[in-house]
Structure 1
Amino acid sequence: MSNIYRYPGPRPFTSGQQKVFYGREEEVRSLSRLIGREQLVVLFSKSGMGKSSLLNAGIVPKVQDEGRLAPLDIRFRAFTDGETDMPQDKARGRIRG
């Protein structure tokens, strides 16, 4: 019996799990087209709706296979008063390497 499960539980799917990530092909196609047309695309919804899974196991493998983009993983956590680095500054630093 295979140890590959359909859902990874509360964790999001990873790029390596794209083979078991299915049922959202239309969303992957639509979002991929939008990413190709626009300079900025914002994906938002309630927590737990599958945004990270859609990106990790749907979009990232697709754009890598097509050679269109080099995805960069940037994660934000809650910003709290007293922090010295603004979230956008952290993102810029990550992009620069």
Structure 2
Amino acid sequence: MCIRVSDRTLLAQGWQQYDTEEDAWYFGIWINTERLETFTYAEGDTHHVIAPNVEAFRAELARLYQYHPQAPAFISIDPQAGVVTRHFERKPEV
């Protein structure tokens, strides 16, 4: 039996999607700062971390952020000035 969970369902439960360059239908990372949990889905495999305390959760976030750099939420381009600006959302933290 397969259960599909949409981003909307996770967002309503306090989860935040952490955007990476790897995001695709087969890969995603979600973080719940209230429950001190992270959840990674990669090609059918899942990795669910429930941190026992804030210090352990911060260490888990640092590990995630090191191995999965954040992708920009959007990019703006000023062709006249030749400037490309990458805009990032705030990373989840405690």
Which range, TM-score by smaller chain?
A: under 0.3
Structure 2-normalised TM-score?
Answer: 0.28
Q: Which has the higher contact order (CA 8 A, sep 6+)?
A: 1
TM-score by length of 1: 0.27
Q: By percentage of residues, which structure has more strand? A: 2
